[in-house]
Structure 1
Amino acid sequence: MKEALKQFIENFQFLTPEEVDIIVDNTVLKKSKKGEYLLREGEVSKECYAVVQGCIREFIIKDGVEKTISFFVEGDPVNSFSSEVTGCPSKSYFECLEDSIVTVGNDSLIDEMIERVPRLEKLIRREVEKEAGKMQDRMSNFMISTPEERFITLINTQPNLIHRVPQVLIASYIGVTPESYSRIKRRVFEKIKEQN
């Protein structure tokens, strides 16, 4: 697990090899099996995660139906900021769709790591800002786009999800039934085929 983490951390090229070793040695890793939850509705989030390996789904249950909000893959932070910052119960679930390895952090561990590697604060802040921007873009895109446009955005931004995630969950993510999703997928791939 530590080797996978080291390869992940080395992607941040401004860190020195010594800083990478400090981070790797002091990072808590968690292995989770497919189907396990990192957080459930009603729990207060006390930890934040980053995906080293695997795929995590965020969803809510509304009127007895699961509604997929996000997918997180390698390199993505996984957090319930609304729960962690306010101490309120989470409205979301975070479920492992594959056997996964995640980093596990909390405020005291993050403060300790920043003390040992001061430049880490800049990286964390940049990653949080980047994730907030992605979330904002995703929300505004969802509000103004059709399900077909949402699907096209998904295959342009995260094409590997089509093969990693069950179709019923992608249908939920773009806001349609599985039957409608099949029609949209067929139509979009036919257009792509015609263009090539």
Structure 2
Amino acid sequence: MKNEIADLIARFLPLSDVERKTIASSIPIKSFEKGSILLREGQISRESYFNIEGLVRKYYVVDGEERTTEFYREEEAISSLQSYNLKIPANHYLECVEDCRLAVLTYEMEQELFKKVDGFESLCRVSIEEELGAQQEKLARFMTSTPEERYLNLMKHQPALLQRVPQYYLASYLGVKPESLSRIRKRLSQKN
């Protein structure tokens, strides 16, 4: 049987048959139901994930209110880097918004793969650097744009999220209350 995660890694890194088998046996793909919590605030992250299918959100609880900061779609890595690498409690949650199939990697197995698969550590480092750059740009855009501009940007760059995510998650992600998001949508529909 083909292994989706080995196939994906092979798109970026040439793999021998032995390395493919090592990856396939080291990174299981597991199913999670909608609503499953992958990580809770206060837990130490022992796993990182790669999204094969479904949608995961990252959120914080601030003054009793959930604040969504990220949605992880197919072919995106999902982790709580500080908690995972430094073994400190996470300050956020990771939740499956849809039924998900995720590749699951433990820290210990990741260290083993660095030794057994040539180039795997480099691939991970480059991936993290790219993600860090994207997160910096995303934060700058968020800080320098209005809620309406954020919504328009979401419509332009991630339109599928508008269909996949409940409005109250979207509102939180955009930094507004659900009522404000409704007003933004109404205002935009009247312009067209």
Provide the TM-score with structure 1 as the length reference. Answer: 0.86
Q: Is contact 2:13–2:123 with CA below 8 Å preserved after alignment? A: no
List per-residue Cα deviations over 1:99-123 (Å, max 9, x = no partner): 1111221232112222222122221
Query: Are 2:185 and 1:181 aligned?
Result: no
Shift of 1:45: 1.1
CA displacement 1:1-21 (0-9 Å, x = unmatched): 9654455445x2443473444
TM-score (norm 2): 0.88
Q: Which amino acid aligns with 1:29?
A: I
Pairwise mapping of residues 105-184 of structure 1 onto structure 2 (< 5 A)?
105-184=105-184
Change (3 A) 1:3 1:106: closer
Indicate conservation of the 8 Å contact 1:51/1:103, yes or no.
yes
Q: Distance in 1 between matches of 2:120 and 2:190?
A: 46
Measure how far apart 1:67 and its partner are. Answer: 0.6
Structure 2: distance between partners of 1:50 and 1:190: 40
RMSD over aligned CA atoms reads: 2.2
Structure 1's 6 and 187: CA in aligned 2 closer, same or farther, altered over 3 A? farther
Q: Which residue in 2 is equivalent to 1:15?
A: 14
Amino acid at match of 2:42: G
Q: Which blocks of at least 5 consecutive residues in structure 2 are unaligned?
A: none
Moved beyond 4 Å, runs of 4+: 1-4
Deviation at 1:81, TM superposition (A): 1.5
State the distance in 1 between where 2:109 and 2:148 align: 42
Residues 24-69 of structure 1: CA distance to partner in whole angstroms, max 9, x if unpaired?
Answer: 2331222110001000011111221111111000001111111111
Percent sequence identity over aligned pairs: 37
Matching of residues 13-92 of structure 1 within 5 Å = 13-16=12-15, 18=17, 19-92=19-92
Q: Return the alpha-carbon distance in structure 1 between the equivalents of residues 15 and 85 of structure 2.
A: 31
Deviates further, 34-43 or 100-109: 100-109
Cα contact 1:77–1:131 (8 A) shared by 2: no
Gaps of 5+ in 1: none
1:86 and 1:115 mapped to 2: Cα distance?
A: 20
Q: Name the SS for the 2:159 alignment partner.
A: coil
C-alpha distance in 1 between matches for 2:47 and 2:62? 25
